[in-house]
A and B are shown apart, each in its own frame.
Chain A
Amino acid sequence: MIRIECPVCGQRPETEFTYGGDATVRRPEMTNEDPQAWIEYVFMRGNPRGWHREYWHHVQGCRQWIVLERNTLSHEIGQAELARDAARAWSRTSEAAE
């Protein structure tokens, strides 16, 4: 039973969550019409053996999407943050890069 530190609700068992997959793939902008960008986003995965950033949805709690660091080999749990915050930080870094 994996236990996830929900930033809103505290430590909760995995059975309250559903898994949402790789959180490192970034959705292209709505206006992006390049099929390859969408193929990459929808289908292609790094699938790391070790630490992984991934979405979990606290469906039986606060219904927030969470980005969790979790080790796919040892099942160790690392940091968790709201996906909303992760997305904001992401857009800030990409703006800075531009």
Chain B
Amino acid sequence: MSHYSAFSIFKQAMRGNRGWSRAWRDPEPKDNYDVLIVGGGGHGLATAYYLAKEHGAKNVAVVEKGWLGGGNTGRNTTIVRSNYMMPGNTMFYERSMKLWEDLSQDLNFNVMISQRGQYNLCHSPGQMDAARRRGNIMRANGIDADMFDRAEVQRRLPYLDYSASARFPIHGALYQGRAGTARHDAVAWGYARAADKHGVDILQQREVTGYLWDGGRIGGVQTSRGDIRAAKVALCVAGHSGHLAQMAGLRLPIETHSLQAFVTEPYKPLIDTVISFGAAHFYISQSDKGGLVLGGDLDMYNSYAQRGGLPIVEHTLSSAKALMPALSRLKLLRHWAGVMDMSMDGSPFITKTPVDGLYLNGGWCYGGFKATPASGWCFAWTIAKDAPHPDNAEFRLDRFERGYQIDEKGVGPHPNAH
């Protein structure tokens, strides 16, 4: 396999780019794997990579129903941050941030992690207080955070609406400088290539249709193209966790909802950071290509359609113009939707399940992308050691029975409100 570098690029260019090899193999499945990961998105591929790299697993496969990164990995708004305040979340997301900071080098694949900072705008004294608590918890845990008042936000982001006609005036912002964006597709491809290099079999175009059982224990999966045996089966299928869990007889504290994303035509640099509006669910950044990437609220109703509705289109764009009036004359190029595992407290699961041999990674709501490295790292640990790492210790399925709800927003068991 080619090692990627400026030198290799040059060398290949001299040969008409005919010498590049496949980024990952397209193998036939073996009869039996130690670990079979269901779902070839960022989380599944990262899990496979860390199983092989950190735990020396030699016999691992990832099975994917479509193409790698074709789910939410390839649909999200690419924001990376670690500004979580609830115990159980804080250090997990910070682990992810640290892995991001080394990811391109680790994978020898430029995932374009761009630490251009993220502002969480506040629009009332109450929001400022809540942001301060979050920022303080971050700092007390060794994570960078700053509070800015209105004047400082205006100095840094002069193009937002500070006029008297702003419906929700900006009072200030919580800022994380290490936050930013990454190139979403590259994350899937980079992990796939690196996992493949460690011997992981990546099996595309195979949809899991059921499980194989050894008595009460999972013994593998049935797929659209034949059975594959495995000692451990690990689900990384956020958006479809409910469906795959149900095949194993599990009901989950998860609903599937659709979340839209938007991109404008490409423009020369306008916004060099990530901005989250505090008066409505809206965030914006600009990609390296120049498209402004906009995210909004859920469509609110359960959906697997990967297609969004007009009310949220209007809602998101009106938030965009309310925040930054200059966006008005720019043009929307494309909008799409992904389907999310919305959990009952807004936080994920990385855990063994009550079914022997079945492991679950899901419930990511719409924060899954930033979690990708730590999710794979912790899930690999959990699968390899049959016990959670301290960083994912609270991402258990029984936390609702215990009362340990990890509710960053405090909205309670309403999946569409997180």
Interface residues, chain A, with chain B CB atoms under 8 Å away? 1-2, 14-15, 18-19, 21-22, 35-36, 39-40, 42-47, 49, 52, 54, 70, 72-75
Contact = CB atoms under 8 A, between A and B. Distances in A.
Closest 9 CB pairs of A and B: A47-B242, A43-B253, A43-B400, A19-B300, A44-B251, A19-B301, A43-B344, A72-B302, A73-B304
Contacts of B401: 35-36, 39
Given A1-B311, A21-B415, A49-B243, A70 B301 contact: yes
Contact of A49 (B252, B256, B309, B413): B256
Contacts of A70: 301
14 contacts: A14-B309, A15-B311, A19-B300, A36-B401, A42-B344, A42-B400, A43-B344, A45-B251, A45-B255, A47-B243, A54-B302, A72-B256, A72-B302, A72-B304
A2 B309 contact: yes
A45 B304 contact: no
B340 to A, nearest CB: 12
Nearest to A56: B301
Interface residues of B, number: 27
Contacts of B246: 46-47
Nearest to A13: B311
Contacts of B307: 75
A47 B254 contact: yes
Which DSSP category, helix, strand, loop or mixed, fits chain B's interface? Answer: mixed
Interface string B281-311: 0000000000000000000111111010111
Contacts of B89: none
A45 B305 contact: no
A3 to B, nearest CB: 11
B347 interface: no
A73 B243 CA distance: 13
B78 interface: no
Interface in B311-336: 311
Given A1-B310, A39-B401, A73 B413 contact: no
B414 interface: yes
A39 B256 CA distance: 19
Contacts of A49: 240, 242-243, 256, 304
Nearest to B345: A43
Contacts of A39: 400-401
B416 interface: yes
Contacts of A35: 401
Nearest to B416: A19
Nearest to A41: B413
Interface in B374-392: none
Nearest to A44: B251
B309 A72 contact: no
A34 to B, nearest CB: 12
Contacts of B400: 39, 42-43
A37 to B, nearest CB: 12
Given A36-B401, A43-B253, 17 more contacts: A2-B309, A15-B311, A21-B414, A39-B401, A42-B400, A42-B413, A43-B344, A43-B400, A44-B252, A47-B246, A47-B252, A47-B256, A49-B240, A49-B256, A72-B256, A72-B304, A72-B305
Contacts of B243: 47, 49
A45 B301 contact: no
Interface in B388-402: 400-401
A52 B300 contact: no
A12 to B, nearest CB: 13
A19 B311 CA distance: 14
A48 to B, nearest CB: 8
Contacts of B301: 2, 14, 19, 54, 70, 72
A40 B251 CA distance: 9
A74 B305 contact: yes
B309 A18 contact: no
B255 A21 contact: yes
Given A43-B344, A45-B242, A47-B243, A18 B303 contact: no
A46 B251 contact: yes
A35 B242 CA distance: 22
B345 to A, nearest CB: 9
Contacts of B416: 19, 21
A43 B302 contact: no
A36 B251 CA distance: 13
A70 B302 CA distance: 9
Contacts of B303: 72, 75
B305 A47 contact: no
